Amino acid sequence: MQTLNTTLLIIGGGPGGYVTAIRAGQLGIPTIVVEGQSLGGTCLNIGCIPSKALIHVAEQFHQTQRHSQHSALGISVAAPTLDIGKSIEWKDGIVDRLTTGVAALLKKNKVQVVQGWARIIDGKTVEVGDTRIHCEHLVLATGSKSVNLPMLPIGGPVISSTEALAPKSLPKRMVVVGGGYIGLELGIAYRKLGVEVSVVEAQDRILPAYDAELTQPVHDELKKLGVKLYLKHSVQAFDSNNNTLRVSDPNGDTLNLETDQVLVAVGRKPNTQGWNLEALNLDMNGASIKVDHRCQTSMRNVYAIGDVSGEPMLAHRAMAQGEMVAELISGKTREFNPTAIAAVCFTDPELVVVGKTPDDAKAAGLDCIVSSFPFAANGRAMTLESKSGFVRVVARRDNHVIVGWQAVGVGVSELSTAFAQSLEMGARLEDIAGTIHAHPTLGEAVQEAALRALGHALHM
Ligand SMILES: Cc1cc2nc3c(=O)[nH]c(=O)nc-3n(C[C@H](O)[C@H](O)[C@H](O)COP(=O)(O)OP(=O)(O)OC[C@H]3O[C@@H](n4cnc5c(N)ncnc54)[C@H](O)[C@@H]3O)c2cc1C
């Protein structure tokens, strides 16, 4: 058996793991990353990036098709056809470029990558095949896995988001089980690619993690696109003999939905099984590894970051935790205490939540001003053919410090940066209202929401 010694050993080369490694390399810490599949993890290979690539293909196809039928913009074009094989090739090209880039960055920072599945021996020893690696600090960054439903095992026509991101051909009909962000992002993309899509959701509305006012424009767009919604319905089983998904309606009656494919998107769970994590006997927080404000587990010098350490399971959180852990190991004083972590749904329209919603503020006992500004009164939104949605600000009534931003509308994912910055910098309504926002931009709705909260919106 080969033996390697290092200061820092990271299990998992996803955004959490590879960012830890890059920063550790920059700080001169001898570092090894073990990755069982592909550098970049879920995010680059089967998550954030491929889903946004597919959404872009779908949007381009949908817009071309729209103009081929009726174009208020005066564009005439023949009805488009789609070579999904080529689309996937394009998406794979982006994934390839990014994962190769990660490998190059690790090399540049003198990080050693060991390919294979790590198995824990103890808090300072890990085995990968016939290699034993000893370390002083261990970072667990093993990510998460799709939650499976026992009555809908993945296989054949029943697929997870991973298969949905690499279709060889498109089905005629698809039922998406789960109306959360992954199910809706993919469901909307498939619909725009011409597939008949239905969504089955157990709760009484889509995107149940967000408030109803915020999700209404997405609900309206689903209707416009012809996506059928089965809310308060629960799944029983899929019968592959006659391509039927059996679901229960709110009265308990059975409904048979004919479909060629079922996409199961009911959430993700921390990846804590199958690599002998039990050997460390760490304190857990439900299904995830329990960590403190420095991402330290209950064992000294063992850290957990990213999805394996629980919610919010987002790539940018994993990266921020990883950067901090590398700095801690180098001896710097750090803690993970962000004011806010933006959550974005790349649905149509897009949705962003940063910091406290009006309900969160109320629950925290804060007396807040809540003010919103509609995109219907924003020139840039009109030029993008989209008037739906709004920007909403939540600010303390006593000192006007902003505690939250939410937005729904075309392209609002890009507003998440300004929202997060304003919260981290402790901005007040007057700071945003007094900043000159470029015209014509969607950002003017951000300024107007702040102005309106102060009682003097200019454009409504
Ligand atoms: C369809 C989809 C869309 C998404 N879209 C977004 C989005 O738009 N924005 C966003 O912020 N997040 C999104 N996410 C979530 C995001 O992908 C995750 O939050 C992020 O990848 C978590 O990073 P991580 O480093 O914790 O884990 P992962 O990215 O899951 O990486 C973990 C890595 O560890 C490896 N590994 C696991 N066990 C071992 C072992 N024993 N030995 C060796 N290697 C091991 C795995 O192979 C994997 O490469 C999406 C997820 C999905 C599925």
Please tell me the predicted confidence (pLDDT) of residue 183: 98
Per-residue confidence of the chain (460 residues) as pLDDT tens digits?
899 999 999 999 999 999 999 999 999 999 999 999 999 999 999 999 999 999 999 999 999 999 999 999 999 999 999 999 999 999 999 999 999 999 999 999 999 999 999 999 999 999 999 999 999 999 999 999 999 999 999 999 999 999 999 999 999 999 999 999 999 999 999 999 999 999 999 999 999 999 999 999 999 999 999 999 999 999 999 998 999 999 999 999 999 999 999 999 999 999 999 999 999 999 999 999 999 999 999 999 999 999 999 999 999 999 999 999 999 999 999 999 999 999 999 999 999 999 999 999 999 999 999 999 999 999 999 999 998 999 999 999 999 999 999 999 999 999 999 999 999 999 999 999 999 999 999 999 999 999 999 999 999 9
Q: Pick the closest to residue 318 from 10, 19, 11 (CA basis).
A: 19
Cα 41 to ligand 1 centroid, rounded to whole Å: 5
Cα 94 to ligand 1 centroid, rounded to whole Å: 17
CB < 8 Å & 24+ apart, contacts of 454-457: 454/400, 454/429, 454/430, 457/373
Estimate the share of the chain in helix, then strand, then coil, as percent rounded to the nearest 5.
35, 25, 40
- What per-residue string of b and e applies to 428-443 under the rule 16 or more CB within 10 Å gives b? bbeebbeeebeeebbb
Which residue's entry shows tokens 């967000």?
Answer: 210
User: Is the minimum distance from the CB of 36 to ligand 1 under 6 angstroms?
Assistant: yes
Give the ligand 1 atom nearest the CA of 274.
41
Residues in contact with 280: Cβ distance below 8 Å, sequence separation at least 6, in sequence order: 120, 122, 123, 297, 299, 302
φ and ψ at residue 247, rounded to 5 degrees: -130, 155
How far is Cα 163 from Cα 186, in angstroms, rounded to an integer? 11
Residue nearest atom 33 in ligand 1 by C-alpha distance: 12
What is the pairing mode between strands 131-140 and 125-128?
Answer: antiparallel
How far is Cα 8 from Cα 135, in angstroms, rounded to an integer? 6
User: Is the minimum distance from the CB of 307 to ligand 1 under 6 angstroms?
Assistant: yes
> Could you please report the per-residue DSSP string of 116-181?
S-EEEEETTEEEETTEEEEEEEEEE---EEEPPBTTB-SBTTEE-HHHHTS-SS--SEEEEE--SH
Ligand 1 pocket test, candidate residues 48, 263, 264, 277, most atoms within 8 A of CB: 48
Residue 258 three-state SS: strand
Cα 441 to ligand 1 centroid, rounded to whole Å: 33
pTM: 0.97
How far is Cα 244 from Cα 255, in angstroms, rounded to an integer? 9
Which residue's entry shows tokens 């454009």?
Answer: 459
Active-site residue 439, yes or no?
Answer: yes
Please tell me the predicted confidence (pLDDT) of residue 166: 98
How far is Cα 152 from Cα 10, in angstroms, rounded to an integer? 34
How far is Cα 23 from Cα 38, in angstroms, rounded to an integer? 20
* DSSP code at position 425: T
Residue nearest atom 49 in ligand 1 by C-alpha distance: 41
Catalytic residue among 67, 400, 437, 439: 439
Structure tokens at 9: 């050993």
Instruction: Identify the structural domains of the chain with CATH numbers, from first to last.
Output: 2-146+270-329 (3.50.50.60), 158-266 (3.50.50.60), 343-453 (3.30.390.30)
How far is Cα 393 from Cα 356, in angstroms, rounded to an integer? 9
How far is Cα 325 from Cα 455, in angstroms, rounded to an integer? 44
How far is Cα 220 from Cα 388, in angstroms, rounded to an integer? 9
Cα–Cα distance list, 353 to 161, 220, 341, 429 (Å): 23, 19, 9, 17
| CA 332 to chain centroid | 30
Cα 84 to ligand 1 centroid, rounded to whole Å: 25
Please tell me the predicted confidence (pLDDT) of residue 387: 87
Cα 59 to ligand 1 centroid, rounded to whole Å: 25
The CA-based angle 386-391-393, given to 5 degrees, is: 180
Please tell me the predicted confidence (pLDDT) of residue 311: 97
Beta bridge partners of 264: 177
* DSSP code at position 299: S
> Cα(first)–Cα(last) distance of the chain, in Å?
72
Give the ligand 1 atom nearest the CA of 41.
49
Q: Which helix (H) or strand (E) element contains residue 274? A: none
How far is Cα 359 from Cα 365, in angstroms, rounded to an integer? 10
CB 164 within 8 A of CB 47: no
What is the maximum span of the chain, computed from C-alpha positions, in angstroms? 72
Which residue's entry shows tokens 């350490």?
Answer: 309
